[in-house]
Amino acid sequence: MSVTIKDVEHIAKLAKLEFSEAEKEKFTHQFNDILKYMEQLNSVDTTGVEPLAQVIELKNVFRDDTVKPSTSTEEALKNAPASSDAHFKVPKVIG
Amino acid sequence: MSVYDTYEAVIGLEVHAQLSTKTKIFCGCSTTFGNAPNSNVCPVCLGMPGVLPVLNKQVVEYAIRLGLATHCTISPTSVFARKNYFYPDLPKGYQISQYEEPICQHGYVDIDIEDGSAKRIGITRIHMEEDAGKSIHDMDTDTLVDVNRCGTPLLEIVSEPDMRSAKEAYHYLYFIWQTVKYLGICDGNMEEGSLRCDANISVRLKGETKLGTKAELKNMNSFRNVERAIEYEIKRQIDLIDEGGPVVQQTLLWNADKNVAAPMRSKEEAHDYRYFPDPDLVPVVVDKEWIANVEKLIPELPKVRHQRFMESFKLPAYDAGVLTQERELAEYFESAAGQLIKKNEENYKSVSNWIMTDVLRVMNEEKIAVSDFPVTPEHLGAMVNLIADGTISGKIAKEVFDDMLRTKDHPKAIVERKGLVQISDTGAIEKEIDLILAKFPNEIHRYRGGEVKLTGFFVGETMKVMKGKGNPKLINEILKKKLDG
Ligand SMILES: [Zn+2]
C-alpha cells in the first residue's frame, strides 16, 4: 500500500493543517518511507499471537467515585488566548 | 391504500445515557449539573498535555448493570479507544470511547406495543465513553465554551435496526428510559440532556430485504419529539422516493419549534474518526465473580414488577402500568399497601386510585418528587384503612388528604382534630331523613311518579344537613326503603 498526495491532503485536512505543494510532495515520500520501514514487521510470523491494545501488562486500574477538589475557574482559563464570563472564547462555530 | 402503506421504515436508535456517578469518568471532578461555568474542571478533563486518565470503577459497574438488564454478553476484556475530531467543546481533540471491544454486546429487550403485543429489539452494543463540553453560540462573533460537562460518563446504547415505526421507536426509548432509572444509573431527565437519542432511519417497499439509504436524525430532546421527528422523516423519505428522487445520506437536526428536520451543515470528512486504542488506559477485565456481584444489585425491573402488581394486588393492567412507571412510585404504592389492615382487592384498588388521581396530580402540579411528597405512604395507607372500616367517607377523605398535604399529620389525628368521624348511627340518619322528607312532599310525589333520579337530590340534602359526615351507604339504603316503601 502506498500513500498518494491525495492521502496527505486528506490527513492534513483532518488535522486542520495547510501545506505547500512542495511540502505535500515531501510528506508523501516520507510517509511511504515510514510505511516501508514498518512493513518489515509483516515478515514476523504472528500465528497464534493475541493482538495487544497495550504494551504494559496491566489491567483494571480504577479510581473510586469520590469527588476531588477541582481547579479554580481562574486557573483553568489562565492559558486560554481569550475568555469571557468564565468561559473559553473561541471563533464562532456554527452547530 | 395510501402510498405510505406500501413502504416500511427501518429504524435504529443510539441512546446516550448520562450516568449518575458523583465524579467524571476519568477524573475526580464533580458531575453536578448547573454549577458555575468551568468550575468542575481539572487538568485531566481540560485536556492538558501529560495528564493521565484513570477510570471510575462505578462507571464499569453501571455498564454491567445495564448490560445484564438488557441480556447482553459482558465482554471479558474491553478496551478504550480514541475517536479523533476537532470541536471546541472537546479540549483534547479526541473523545475517549470504546470501539472494537465494547463492554456489552449482543443483547435484546422486549418492548410492549399498545395493541398488547410484544416485540424484541436487538441491542448491538453498549459502550462507555466521555461526554463533551457545552458551546454557547448565541454571541455575535464568538462561541463560548464551558468544559464542566466534559468527561461526564456516558453509556451509548446502540440498537439493531429492528424498529418499523415511530411508535415502536417511542416504546423502545421509553423502555430504555425506564430501565436506566430503575437501575439507578441515570436520572433520565431528557430536558437536561441526561438521556439523548439519535435515530438512523431509512424506508423501503414492504417485502424488500435490502436496506434503503439512511438519514441520521439528531437533537430530539423529549419523547414527543422523538416520535414526531421520526414520523416526519419517514414521510419525507417516502415522498422523495415516490417522486422518483433519491434519499441522500445525511444528518438532520430536529427543530422542535417548527416541527421540521433540517440538514446539518455538512462537515465533509467528518466521519473519518481514525479510532485507535488509547495508550493511556489499560484493558478492563470483568470476571464471573464481578458480574455475579453486580447482578445482586439489580432490582426487580419494570416488566416483572408490572406483572407482579397485577397478580399480587389484583390491579388492572392500566393501574399496574402507571404505578410501576417509576421505581419510587411503585415503592410508594407497596409501602402504602403494606399498611392496609384488610389486605383485599378493594383496598388495594383504593390505594391505587388515590395515588393515580390525587397523589400524582399534586406531584405534577407542584413538581414534587415521590421522596419529598408530604403525604407519606404510611399515612395514605392509614387513611384508606379509615375509609375501609367506615370511620370516614370517601368524600371526607378528600378533606383529610388535603389536610395531610398541608400539615403532614396522621389521618387519625386529623379526623379527631376536626371531628370528622362518619355518622353510621342508623337512628341518627333516619331522624335527619325524616326531617328532609317532610320538607319536600312534592319531590316525593315526583319520585314516586317515576323520577327515580331524584334520589340524588335527597341524598344531597341529607348530606348537607349532616355536614358531609353521614355514611353515604346507609343514607342511600334508608332513603330507598322510605321512598319505595
Ligand atoms: Zn476533571
Q: Which pLDDT belongs to residue B4?
A: 85
Q: Which pLDDT belongs to residue B265?
A: 66
What is the residue type of B245? Answer: G
Question: Do B40 and B170 belong together in one domain?
Answer: yes
Using CB atoms, pick whichever of B42, B279, B281 lies closest to residue A71.
B42
Asked if the Cβ–Cβ distance from B57 to A62 is below 8 Å, we say yes
Q: Tell which A residues from 15 to 54 touch B, by Cβ distance under 8 Å.
A: 16, 53-54
Using the predicted structure, report yes or no on whether residue B394 has a pLDDT greater than 90.
no
Question: Do B197 and B287 belong together in one domain?
Answer: yes
- Last residue of a domain, which of B293, B320, B354? B293
Q: Which pLDDT belongs to residue B262?
A: 86
- Last residue of a domain, which of B418, B445, B461? B418
Read off the pLDDT of residues A65-89 as tens digits, 9 standing for 90 and up: 999 999 999 999 998 999 998 999 9
Contact between B383 and B404 under an 8 Å Cβ cutoff? The reply is: yes
Q: Which pLDDT belongs to residue B194?
A: 94
Higher pLDDT, B268 or B170: B170
Question: Do B407 and B442 belong together in one domain?
Answer: no
Helices and strands in chain B: count of H runs, count of E runs = 16, 17
Please tell me the number of Cα atoms within 13 Å of B69 on its side-chain side: 29
- pLDDT range class, residue B384, cuts 50, 70, 90: very high
The rounded Å distance from CA B139 to ligand 1 centre is 27
Question: Do B466 and B348 belong together in one domain?
Answer: no
Read off the pLDDT of residues B411-468 as tens digits, 9 standing for 90 and up: 999 988 888 777 888 888 888 899 888 899 899 889 988 888 888 899 999 888 888 7
Q: What is the ipTM of this complex?
A: 0.89
Q: What is the mean pLDDT of chain B?
A: 92
A73 inside 8 A of chain B by CB = yes
Query: Cβ atoms within 10 A of the Cβ of B152, count?
Result: 26
**pTM for the whole structure:** 0.84
Asked if the Cβ–Cβ distance from A59 to B282 is below 8 Å, we say yes
Would you say the C-alpha torsion B354, B355, B356, B362 has a positive or negative sign? positive
Question: Do B67 and B34 belong together in one domain?
Answer: yes
Q: Tell me how far apart the alpha carbons of residues A39 and A47 are, in angstroms, rounded to a whole number.
A: 17
Owning domain of residue B326: 302-418
Question: Do B233 and B365 belong together in one domain?
Answer: no
Task: Report the relative pairing of strands A62-63 and B118-130 from DSSP bridges.
Answer: unpaired
Question: Do B47 and B89 belong together in one domain?
Answer: yes
Task: Find, among B65, B73, B66, B76, the residue nearest to B287 by Cα.
Answer: B76
Average pLDDT on B350-370 reads 94
Question: Do B99 and B208 belong together in one domain?
Answer: yes
Domain tally for chain B? 3
The rounded Å distance from CA B92 to ligand 1 centre is 12
Q: Which pLDDT belongs to residue B269?
A: 47
Question: Do B117 and B147 belong together in one domain?
Answer: yes
How close A55 comes to chain B (CA, Å)?
8
Asked if the Cβ–Cβ distance from B60 to A62 is below 8 Å, we say yes
CATH number of the domain within which B436 lies: 1.10.10.410
Q: Which pLDDT belongs to residue B266?
A: 55
Question: Do B368 and B306 belong together in one domain?
Answer: yes
Computed over its alpha carbons, how large is the radius of gyration of chain A? Answer: 22
Using the predicted structure, report yes or no on whether residue B297 has a pLDDT greater than 80.
yes
- Last residue of a domain, which of B228, B260, B293? B293
The contacts of residue B102 (CB under 8 Å, 6+ apart) are: B75, B78, B125, B126, B127, B128
Read off the pLDDT of residues B105-150 as tens digits, 9 standing for 90 and up: 999 999 988 777 889 999 999 999 999 999 888 767 889 999 999 9
Residue B407 belongs to what H/E stretch?
A: helix B394-407
Asked if the Cβ–Cβ distance from B264 to A95 is below 8 Å, we say yes
The contacts of residue A76 (CB under 8 Å, 6+ apart) are: B38, B41, B46, B147
The rounded Å distance from CA B253 to ligand 1 centre is 30
Question: Do B271 and B347 belong together in one domain?
Answer: no
What is the residue type of B78? Answer: S
Question: Do B367 and B432 belong together in one domain?
Answer: no
